[in-house]
Amino acid sequence: MKNEHPGVSCLYKFIDAFNTAEKNNIITNLHFPHYVHSNGNEPVIYKNGEDFWKSLKVQLDTMRNIENWSFSNQKLTNSQSNFNEFYIRFYDWYVQLNKILLEKNLAYPGMAYRKAANEIEKKDLNCKKVWFVGLNALTKSEQKILDVLKKRDICRVFWDADNYYYNNPDHEDYFNKSSSLELRDIKRNDRFIQYGLVAAKMAVEDAGLYNLDENKKLRVGVSVGSGIGGLETIYEGSLTINKESKKLSPFFIPSSLVNLLSGQISIKYGFKGPNHSVVTACATGAHSIGDSSEIIKRGAADIMIAGGSEAAVCKLGIAGFCAARSLSTGFNNNPELASRPWDIDRDGFVMGEGSGIVVLEEYENAKKRGAKIYAELIGYGMSGDAYHITAPSEDGDGGYRAMSEALKMANISSDKVEYINAHGTSTIKGDEIELNAISRLFQHNIYVSSTKSSIGHLLGAAGSVESIFSIMSINKNTLPATINLDNPIETTNINLIPKIPIEKKITYALSNSFGFGGTNTALLFKSI
Class of domain 376-528: alpha beta
Q: Is 245 exposed, middle or buried (0-12, 13-18, 19+ CB in 10 A)?
A: exposed
Q: Which amino acid is at 479?
A: L
Q: Kindly give the residue spans of alpha helices, DSSP state H, lying in 250-370.
A: 252-256, 260-269, 284-297, 315-323, 363-369
Q: Distance (Å, rounded) from C-alpha 421 to C-alpha 285?
A: 14
Q: In this predicted structure, what is the pLDDT of residue 18? A: 42
Task: Report the pLDDT value the prediction gives residue 400, as an integer from 0 to 100.
Answer: 98
Q: Are 466 and 310 in contact (CB under 8 A)?
A: no
Catalytic residue among 282, 287, 388, 444: 282
HEC letters along 20-71: HHHHHHHHHHHCCCEEEEECCCEEEEECCHHHHHHHHHHHHHHHHHHCCCCC
The domains of the chain are located at 6-106, 186-313+351-373, 376-528
3-state secondary structure of 284: helix
Instruction: Report pLDDT for 100.
Output: 84
- Cα four-point dihedral sign 74, 77, 81, 84: negative
State the pairing for strand pair 419-421/354-361. unpaired
Q: Is 322 a catalytic residue?
A: no
Could you give the 3-state DSSP secondary structure of residue 498? strand
Distance CA 182, CA 194 (A): 10
Whether 388 is catalytic is no
For residue 138, what are the contacts with CB-CB under 8 A and spacing of at least 6? Answer: 146, 162, 183
Per-residue pLDDT of the chain (528 residues; tens, 9 = 90+): 344 444 444 444 444 544 444 444 444 444 334 444 444 445 555 555 566 666 666 666 666 555 555 545 566 667 667 766 766 777 777 788 878 888 888 877 777 778 888 888 777 777 777 777 665 667 778 778 888 887 887 877 665 555 554 455 554 444 544 446 777 788 889 999 999 999 999 999 999 998 899 999 999 999 999 999 999 999 999 998 888 667 888 899 999 999 999 999 999 999 999 999 999 999 999 999 999 999 999 999 999 999 999 999 999 999 999 999 999 999 999 999 999 999 999 999 999 999 999 999 999 999 999 999 999 999 999 999 999 999 999 999 999 999 999 999 999 999 999 999 999 999 999 999 999 999 999 999 999 999 999 999 999 999 999 999 999 999 999 999 999 999 999 888 999 999 999 999 999 999 999 999 999 999 999 999
What is the pLDDT, as a whole number, of residue 144? Answer: 82
Name 502's bridge partners. Answer: 479
How many residues are listed for the chain in this entry? 528
What is the distance, to the nearest Å, from the Cα of residue 214 to the centroid of all Cα atoms in its chain?
24
CB 306 within 8 A of CB 360: yes
Question: Judging by beta carbons within 10 Å of its beta carbon (0-12, 13-18, 19+), is residue 479 exposed, middle or buried?
Answer: buried
Evaluate whether 186-313+351-373 and 376-528 have a shared fold: yes
Catalytic site residue 127? Answer: no
CATH of 186-313+351-373, one of 3.40.47.10, 3.20.20.70, 3.30.43.10, 3.30.70.260: 3.40.47.10
Q: How many other C-beta atoms are found inside a 10 Å radius of the C-beta of residue 404?
A: 18
